């Protein structure tokens, strides 16, 4: 069984602050993908990043960075110098790489509501 936990229900910061969103996952699969999605008020899920379980290198994309630690089953997301436009719900998700009919079945966390105040 797969499980993704985002313990932070809501986070509120002031613009230009750095903020880290936590994600912890559980899986019995040895190979899997991890994702972060952003859901703005419009409702559409926007893909941010995908990481392969073989690749534990951290990644930086502009103001966004991701810290993947397999030893602690965590995949945390940091926004540096937050902006009002970053306000959204952020979801962490897990996808097993195993073949078969379950391939493609994403398991999402509960989401973290991020509010960035001007």
Partner 1 sequence: DTGVSQDPRHKITKRGQNVTFRCDPISEHNRLYWYRQTLGQGPEFLTYFQNEAQLEKSRLLSDRFSAERPKGSFSTLEIQRTEQGDSAMYLCASSPRRTGGYEQYFGPGTRLTVT
Residues near partner 1 (CB under 8 A) are 4, 33, 37, 42-45, 47, 50, 91, 93, 95, 97, 101-111
Q: How far is the CB of 118 from partner 1 (least distance, A)?
A: 25
Is the CB of 18 or the CB of 26 nearer to partner 1?
26
Q: Could you count the other beta carbons within 10 Å of the beta carbon of residue 43?
A: 7
Q: How far is the CB of 18 from partner 1 (least distance, A)?
A: 24
DSSP secondary structure letters along 70-88: GGGTEEEEEESS--GGG-E
Strand 24-26, strand 19-21: pairing: unpaired
For residue 8 the two structure tokens come to: 């932070």
Q: How far is the CB of 99 from partner 1 (least distance, A)?
A: 8
Q: Which value, in Å, is the radius of gyration of the alpha carbons in the chain?
A: 14
């Amino acid at each position: 069984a797969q499980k993704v936990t985002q313990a932070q229900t809501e986070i509120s910061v002031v613009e230009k602050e750095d903020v880290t969103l936590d994600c912890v996952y559980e899986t019995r699969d040895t190979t899997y993908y991890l994702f972060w999605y952003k859901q703005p008020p419009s409702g559409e899920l926007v893909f941010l990043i995908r990481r392969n379980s073989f690749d534990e290198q951290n990644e930086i994309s502009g103001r966004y960075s991701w810290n993947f630690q397999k030893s602690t089953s965590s995949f945390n997301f940091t926004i540096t110098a937050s902006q009002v436009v970053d306000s959204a719900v952020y979801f962490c998700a897990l996808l097993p790489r195993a073949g078969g009919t379950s391939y493609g079945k994403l398991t999402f966390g509960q989401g973290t509501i991020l509010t960035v105040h001007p």
